[in-house]
Structure 1
Amino acid sequence: MLIAFGLISAVVQFVGQVFGLRFAQPGLLTAVSLGLCVVWGLVRAYPRSSIERQFTHPNLTVVIKIGDLLEEKADLVVGFSDTFDTDIEDDVVINRSSLQGQLLTRIYGGDRSRLDEDLRKALAAVAPANVETRSAKPKGKLKRYPIGTVALIGPPNQRIYCVAYSRMGNELTAHSSMNDLWVSLDHLWEAIAARGQLSRVAIPIMGAELARIYALDRENLLKVSILSFMARSRLQAVSRELVVVIRPQDAEKVDLLEMRAFLAAL
């Protein structure tokens, strides 16, 4: 800061000489320089689009960034409902703008049969918690899996962890809760620790949109995910780097300065 103050003072004096400006009061130059120095410091301190903290115990990095989850060079986490529905036709069962919908259209090229087959194989060893009748649930899938079920799909070079953290109502509205989210995150980290080989993992802010967890805003939902990850990581190694990706349209709803302070306090 002292170096910056000196540099800014020199610049102010130089500009004054070039343009013939005079500082009648000695304190004015100091005040102007100090003001510019404060502005410079604030600009430097304010995070642009990402923040991170490296931890030593355990040895890992947590990154919070604004971006596109599906563009991350990492293993991905995508939230699903307990029925693992994938139908985006007319946005009735699954909204095509949701992360699940984007997974289908962008990663699977709109091939729902292939996505459903991958999910079926991944869930083959998991006993459904319940099976709905078609009369009770007119659209979508009928098998319900326990909250926290994780289906691992995708090619070996990019694993995709599909975690059931909400319940799909028969009226086709998904609902979740803080307890469901916490349980699901715990199962998710367990699955990543077992299958992920400590690879970089990218997750969204889970619970903010169609899962309808109204108790917390995006910022606090983000904190819950990081707290859960750190708690599990202190029991067993999960990943060397966790990246929490905030959608650009949600950027104004998360205070990155607050999140930087949160990471520093962990």
Structure 2
Amino acid sequence: MIGRLPGTSRVSRRTAAAFLRSTATAFGGVAVAGQLAGPLFPHGLPAPGWVTVGSAGICVLWGAYRSRPVPVVRQEFRRPDLTVVVEAGDLFTAPGHLVVGFCDTFDTAPEDGRLINEGSVQAQLLRRRYDGDVRRLDAELCAALAPVAPRSREVRADKPLGKLDRYPLGTVAVLGAPPRLVFATAYSRLGLDLVASSGVEDLWFCLNRLWDAVDRRARTDSVAMPLVGSGLARMDHLDQDSLLRLILMSFVARSREGAVCRELRVVLRPADLASVSVPEVRAFLRSMAEGLADR
């Protein structure tokens, strides 16, 4: 279920307020129409009770229509020419290359959910792109990370599960082959307690490194990514709405230097859409597009 009861979130309150405003506006329009139509019915309206009920129903339906959550935002940019799309759906059926977040150890084995949450995008990558074959995923990661020197190495006594080499935050391992690359980006640090964490500055830095890799390998293509950072320790103070704006701002800021890719598609889970104000995201993207065009 996408929606929540009014009052359970900031977005729900905005939706409820929009519903009330639209419904009140419709009632006002109906009242004016009634006054204008009055002279046409000197003996009163036929079946006034039904007319009242029908008018009220139409107003409520109009308010619901006007305040409905819109699942897709699409914004065209000029100079450089690119498109940003925000939508709810399945990341793995979205067109183009994929972005998948990893921790700095690039762990892949779920270890019964102790290392990788079974519902995470990374777990879906293993199941849906690699048919659960951890060895094949590890082999591609090893080849992609070969030019990168690990930042440090843990000892097994301190980290009993998973891999030991730690790579710098912002490291991007490009997996697969065109037309369906996977940009595996390390944007969180996995603690010895097996809890992944990242901060706003870390995420901003990692996004910039991601755009660099996309620029090198997919400049003329479409790239789809999830709402990275959601649920990470030290990022809990940022809601989905703020994380989405951070991603979009980072992409547009980097695009000022030149097109990163032809299209960026941020794919939200339906549950995330309930925490995102789609009209405000649309206005946010429009203002950035106007600012980019005026520079």
TM norm structure 1? 0.84
* Cα distance in 1 between the residues matched to 2:230 and 2:158: 27
**Structure 1 partner of 2:273:** 251
Aligned residue identity for 1:22: P
Once the two structures are superposed, what CA deviation does each residue of 1:51-83 show, in whole Å capped at 9, x if it has no partner?
Answer: 111111321111110001111121100011000
Q: Among residues 185, 193, 206, which one is paired with 1:163 in the alignment?
A: 185
* Structure 1 residue 201: Cα displacement: 0.6
**CA 234–249 in structure 1, closer or farther in 2 if over 3 Å, else same:** same
1:72 aligns with 2:94: yes
Contact kept in structure 1, 2:219 and 2:259, CA below 8 Å: no
1:224 aligns with 2:211: no
Aligned to 1:253, the other structure's residue is in SS state coil
* Cα distance in 2 between the residues matched to 1:69 and 1:61: 17
* Cα distance in 2 between the residues matched to 1:117 and 1:173: 25
Aligned to 1:110, the other structure's residue is in SS state coil
Aligned residue identity for 1:120: C
Q: Among residues 174, 178, 187, which one is paired with 2:200 in the alignment?
A: 178
Higher mean Cα deviation, 122-131 or 197-206?
197-206
**Structure 1 partner of 2:165:** 143
* Cα distance in 2 between the residues matched to 1:210 and 1:258: 24
Contact kept in structure 2, 1:82 and 1:146, CA below 8 Å: yes
Once the two structures are superposed, what CA deviation does each residue of 1:155-192 show, in whole Å capped at 9, x if it has no partner?
Answer: 32201001100001112111100011000000000100
**Structure 1 partner of 2:262:** 240
Report matched runs for 1:1-266 at 5 Å: 22=46, 40=62, 43=65, 46-210=68-232, 212-266=234-288
Aligned residue identity for 1:173: V
State the identity as a percent. 47
* Structure 1 residue 37: Cα displacement: 7.8
* Cα distance in 1 between the residues matched to 2:220 and 2:237: 32
Once the two structures are superposed, what CA deviation does each residue of 1:20-64 show, in whole Å capped at 9, x if it has no partner?
Answer: 95398xxx99xx59x958964872674531111111132111111
* Cα distance in 2 between the residues matched to 1:153 and 1:212: 28
Aligned residue identity for 1:177: G
Contact kept in structure 1, 2:82 and 2:259, CA below 8 Å: no
Aligned residue identity for 1:130: S
Higher mean Cα deviation, 251-260 or 100-109?
251-260
Aligned residue identity for 1:132: E
Structure 1 alignment gaps of length 5 or more? none
Question: What's the Cα RMSD here?
Answer: 2.7
* Structure 1 residue 223: Cα displacement: 0.4
Higher mean Cα deviation, 140-149 or 155-164?
155-164
> Which of structure 1's runs of 4+ aligned residues deviate more than 6 A?
none
Contact kept in structure 2, 1:174 and 1:212, CA below 8 Å: no
Equivalenced residue count is 247
Contact kept in structure 2, 1:166 and 1:176, CA below 8 Å: yes
Structure 2 alignment gaps of length 5 or more? 1-28, 289-295
* Cα distance in 2 between the residues matched to 1:216 and 1:254: 12
